[in-house]
A and B are shown apart, each in its own frame.
Chain A
């Protein structure tokens, strides 16, 4: 049960921290100040804590921090900022897809994971891709529209999501 040094790159910053074996990646990230990673249930049911772990979207509450040793992690804030928002973040704001906003960071991560592999998703594909992210405010309709809008803008830009 001893602490171990875990080395992680988060949004481009390198961290080396001593962490106990039972510490989740969610808690480790939040303790490092990445509070855009939200804690909603801690059992993988709500998706609010989603991040990219070596390019793959995961619920960080289901990953132990020790498993992330050597990993590259990107959180929602790693995608864009107030000054330079990511097109997906911008689309969520424009489409009225954000109410309380607590699910949004996880939604944006799941959306990016979808558009990365499928630049022109159907409504059904969007809903399926977001089915692990709970939203209690919007009823999902405007979120689906935000994903469509983001995909469309990204296709027009011709760049990577």
Chain B
């Protein structure tokens, strides 16, 4: 199949050449991290600091028959033990009223500490704070606990059957969505063939290198300060609600985050720290062990997805019926939103007029699932992109031709009826990824070579009925240096750097003249979450507004000074000069002095609002969900060893239209890193539970890709300039991951001539399908 694919020519795009935007500059955070000067959450200590530990459930579903902490409390050096009784009613709220239609189930939100029942192995039961870390560990062992085991449920399909054990009344349904677009029956009747396939995906662990951790203390105003690695400093509001204190009495001071990928979107250590700091009046530190990361933080949702697709002989899709079942684990967390996301993405970047989608997420007695890079989009893509190849196979067509027959184009609508208004370069991306693979290696008797690709799309920016906003403050100091204040948490993807580079561009100063203060809920303007691939879009636009407001004032004053009109002024290299005449200029610091002497304001706080929409129609699932979309593709060549079942990635290429690459080196890093995570998802990663008990409790059992597992991904960056972010940028953080896993699955199916419908594509599964197990 598809031996030599030529790149589809790109439409003409006229992107202006800029000074700093589009340059692979050294990121502002790079050197501090390189020399070990960057201080992460677990690195902080304070005078008089206590050390905390969490007692966790060892049972998947049980009533707590007895919980006695008296011995632990009596141990010298133990300052505080809190149980569910002490924090009664405090919940980890994840629903925002009216946003998913699941308020009715708000009662099933996770309690901060389990009260009468535990519902998964790893659920927090008690907190200990002690003078030393060792004493805290010792105290955990002195807490007496007796369980009465309950019959649990460990599979979402089972959980939905009548008579299944119920985690929360009235049933195990956590969330459900329906999409009805066009006429499914008529579309199916029109089809020459109907292809039906089912695909399954496992639990996956984020496995960022930095465990969750932090330090909290109560300051002289009575404000509870929490220094924590988080993607969401705005959790101060939920924490305040749980503690029953005013929102202005909780301050979350974020740190540089050592990887998040969605799991640091949930509240983790910060709420425990807040309770313990308030209770003890002393600084408290809590850092999770790697084993706690596995047992007690979110996982990617396992999904089972069935596609039933009506197609014409030429590959055109006439109708599509999709069902999805997701495993929520024991508590909802962000499941309702993840399921909504997967549902809205179910059809992929294809124009399908007649479509039904029915999705459901069920509670089970397993580790809870929540956000993970792509937010349900990667699972949806593993459905639609494997299905596209299955359709091609059933019809005897080239997989690229089947996609060509169905690609959504600008102005077409998604399965929820949302019109796509920016460039749709699906074919441009796919053909470039395929072209990058070059010559195909020959198969041998033992090693079968296969090729596959996947075309995907992901949104960037939050769901539009969340009414998302971001703020940023930009100011120029008297020496012409620039200060940027923005609440953005930097989780390693270059969030800080992007907005610094934008500010430097607009104000015409070198990047090293910009200093950013970020991620503090009390003193930096709130910028919203570092989730949903939203920071470049949202905070990038807020920073653009703020920097342009300052720029306008500088330009106006410089024009007066140089006796030219404002549109003749250029800000560059820390000076304002007359366009075309470099000899007429004023240094930025002198211009600032002029402005300061006249009381011209040299700072600006700006707010950017995303489009605000209403929710989907509850009957048909029709309506707008997202601000815009990023389109991309990955192509891989694999070698499958038919003796050992080992799969080797021989070549991998990724191509995405990022609108405009603010920093191409950082964009490349996002795409290469996201692709790599996707390759791991396809081939090796699975968080295994058996009857609710964890079988992959550490990095010794749960394998993540190392430097020797996969080759370097060739990255092709396209720039349509049509995104809704600053300078026409689209988001790339999450979109980067999504196409990789289905591309691998398609390549392996190509190599073997048969598809393994369940990830990961482990050697065991390969040998099974070859009849060699």
- A residues near B, CB below 8 A? 30, 35-36, 38-43, 45-46, 48, 75-77, 79-82, 85-86, 89-90, 92-96, 98-105, 108, 126-128, 130-144
Interface centre among B206, B698, B707 (most CB of A within 10 A): B707
Asked whether A96 and B36 contact (CB < 8 A) given A46-B699, A137-B673, the answer is: no
Q: Are B258 and A101 in contact (CB under 8 A)?
A: yes
Inter-chain contacts of B468 with A (CB < 8 A): none
Q: Is the CB of B33 within 8 A of A98?
A: yes
Which A residues lie within 8 Å of B104 (CB)? none
Say whether B34 faces chain A, with CB atoms less than 8 Å apart: yes
The answer to whether residues A101 and B672 also contact, given A93-B26, A139-B710 and a CB cut-off of 8 A, is no
CB pair B699 A99 closer than 8 Å: no
Beyond contacts A100-B210, A140-B707: 16 other A-B pairs, Cβ-Cβ < 8 A, are: A40-B211, A43-B699, A46-B699, A75-B36, A93-B26, A94-B30, A98-B27, A100-B208, A130-B706, A131-B708, A135-B707, A137-B259, A137-B492, A139-B676, A139-B713, A142-B669
CA distance A46 to B269 in the complex (A): 22
Q: Which residues of B contact A38 (CB under 8 A)?
A: 40, 209-210, 258
A139-B676, A144-B712 given as contacts; is B707 within 8 A of A127 (CB)?
yes
Residue of A76, A79, A81, A127 touching B708 (CB-CB under 8 A): A127
B29's partner among A40, A76, A101, A131 (CB-CB below 8 A) is A101
Asked if residues B34 and A108 are in contact (CB atoms below 8 Å), the reply is yes
Give every chain B residue within 8 A of A95 (Cβ-Cβ): 665
Decide: B208 and A136 in contact? CB cutoff 8 A: yes
Given the known interface contacts A35-B39, A90-B34, A136-B259, the answer about A45 and B29 at a Cβ–Cβ threshold of 8 Å is: no
Inter-chain contact B494/A82, CB cutoff 8 Å: no
Return the chain B residue nearest A103 by Cβ: B209
- A108–chain B nearest beta-carbon distance, Å: 7
Give the Cβ gap from A121 to chain B, nearest Cβ, in Å.
12
Assembled-state Cα–Cα distance A50/B211 (Å): 17
| CB<8 Å pairs between A and B, sample of 18 | A35-B42, A39-B211, A43-B290, A45-B698, A46-B209, A75-B36, A77-B36, A77-B37, A82-B37, A93-B26, A99-B259, A102-B209, A102-B259, A126-B707, A127-B707, A138-B672, A138-B676, A139-B710
Minimal Cβ-Cβ distance residue in B for A126: B707
A85 touches B209 (CB 8 A): no
Q: Is the CB of A99 within 8 A of B493?
A: yes
Tell me if A104 and B34 are in contact (CB < 8 A).
yes
Among A76, A130, A134, A142, point to the contact of B35 (Cβ < 8 A).
A76
Contact between chains at B209 and A100 (CB < 8 Å): yes
With most chain B CB atoms within 10 A of its CB, the pick from A46, A94, A137 is: A137
Verify A45–B35 contact, CB threshold 8 A: no
Question: What is the minimal beta-carbon distance from B530 to any residue of chain A, in angstroms?
Answer: 12
B209 pairs with A139, CB closer than 8 A: no
Tell me the smallest distance from the CB of A92 to a CB of chain B, in Å. Answer: 5
Q: Per DSSP, are chain A's interface residues mostly helix, strand or loop, or mixed?
A: loop
> Chain B contacts of A85 at CB under 8 A?
31, 34-35
> Which of B36, B206, B666, B713 has the most chain A CB atoms inside 10 A of its CB?
B36
A35-B43, A42-B289, A139-B675 given as contacts; is B35 within 8 A of A82 (CB)? yes
Q: Is the CB of A139 within 8 A of B712?
A: yes
Q: How many Å from the CB of A130 to the closest CB on chain B?
A: 4
B424 at the interface (CB under 8 A from A): no
Q: Which residues of B contact A90 (CB under 8 A)?
A: 31, 34
Interface residues of B in 506-530 (CB under 8 A from A): none
One of B32, B43, B290, B493 near A41 (C-beta < 8 A) = B290
A136 contacts B675, C-beta separation under 8 Å: no
Contact with A along B32-64 (1 / 0, CB 8 A): 111111111011000000000000000000000
A102 and B256 CA atoms in complex are apart in Å by 9
In the complex, residue of chain A having the shortest beta-carbon distance to the beta carbon of B652? A139
* Closest A residue, CB atoms, query B32: A82
Query: Which residues of A lie under 8 Å from residue B712 when comparing CB positions?
Result: 139-141, 144
Of A43, A104, A130, which contacts B700 at CB under 8 A?
A43
Smallest beta-carbon distance B23→chain A, Å: 12
Interface pair A89/B257, CB less than 8 Å apart: no
**What is the distance, in angstroms, from A42's C-beta to the closest C-beta of chain B?**
7
Q: Which of B24, B29, B31, B666 has the most CB of A within 10 A?
A: B31
Asked if B258 and A80 sit within 8 Å, CB to CB, the answer is no
Q: How many A-B pairs fall under 8 Å by CB?
A: 183
Restricting to B272-323, which residues have a CB under 8 Å from any CB of A? 287, 289-290
Most buried by B among A30, A100, A131, A143: A100
Q: Residues of B with Cβ closer than 8 Å to A? A: 24, 26-27, 29-40, 42-43, 206-211, 256-259, 261, 287, 289-290, 491-494, 665-666, 668-669, 672-677, 698-700, 704, 706-708, 710, 712-713
In the complex, A132 Cα to B43 Cα: how many Å?
23
CA of A131 to CA of B26, assembled, Å = 25
Given contacts A93-B30, A136-B677, A138-B673, contact A144 B707 (CB under 8 A): yes
CA distance A41 to B677 in the complex (A): 19
Q: How far is the CA of A140 from the CA of B40 in the complex (A)?
A: 22
Closest to A145 in B: B712
CB distance from B300 to the nearest CB of A (A): 14
Residue A100 contacts which of B24, B43, B287, B492 (CB distance < 8 angstroms)? Answer: B492
**CB-based nearest B residue for A129:** B707
User: CA–CA, A80 to B668, complex, Å?
Assistant: 27
Give the residues in chain A near B699, CB-CB below 8 Å.
41, 43, 45-46, 134
**The residue from B30, B40, B704 contacting A92, defined by CB atoms under 8 A apart:** B30
Complex contact A134–B706 (CB within 8 A): yes
Specify which chain A residues have a CB less than 8 angstroms from the CB of B665 in the assembled complex: 95-96, 142
Q: Which residues of B sit under 8 angstroms from A48, Cβ to Cβ?
A: 209
Supposing A43-B290, A99-B492, A139-B713 touch, asked if A36 and B211 sit within 8 A by C-beta, the answer is: no
- A7–chain B nearest beta-carbon distance, Å: 23
Q: Which residues of B contact A144 (CB under 8 A)?
A: 707, 712
Chain A residue contacts of B708, Cβ below 8 A: 127-128, 131
Taking the nearest CB of chain B, how far is it from the CB of A153, in angstroms?
14
State the Cβ distance, A71 to closest chain B Cβ, in Å: 20
- A80–B32 alpha-carbon span in the complex (Å): 11
CA A86 to CA B290, docked complex, whole Å: 30
Q: In the complex, what residues of A have CB within 8 A of residue B206's CB?
A: 136
- Smallest CB separation, B709 vs chain A (Å): 9
Instruction: Write out the residue numbers on chain A whose beta carbons fall within 8 Å of the beta carbon of B257.
Output: 100
Tell me the nearest residue of chain B to A146, going by C-beta: B34
B37→A40 contact, CB < 8 A? no
Q: Which residues of B contact A41 (CB under 8 A)?
A: 290, 698-699
A81 and B672 contact, Cβ closer than 8 Å, known pairs A46-B699, A99-B494: no
The verdict on A40 contacting B27 (CB below 8 Å), with A92-B34, A99-B494 known, is: no
Q: In the assembled complex, how far is the CB of residue B493 from the closest CB belonging to chain A, in whole angstroms?
A: 6
Q: Of A45, A89, A126, A131, which contacts B34 at CB under 8 A?
A: A89
Docked CA distance A80–B33 (Å): 12
Inter-chain CA distance A86–B37, complex, in Å, is 13
Q: Is the CB of B259 within 8 A of A100?
A: yes
- Interface-centre pick from A133, A136, A143 (highest chain B CB count, 10 A): A136
Most-contacted residue by chain B among A35, A46, A86, A96 (CB, 10 A): A96
The 8 nearest A-B residue pairs measured at CB: A36-B36, A100-B492, A101-B33, A139-B676, A102-B258, A141-B712, A35-B43, A96-B665
A73 CB to closest chain B CB (Å) equals 14
B31–A89 contact, CB under 8 A? yes
Chain B contacts for A138, CB-based, 8 A: 669, 672-673, 676
Are A134 and B676 in contact, with the CB atoms below 8 A? no
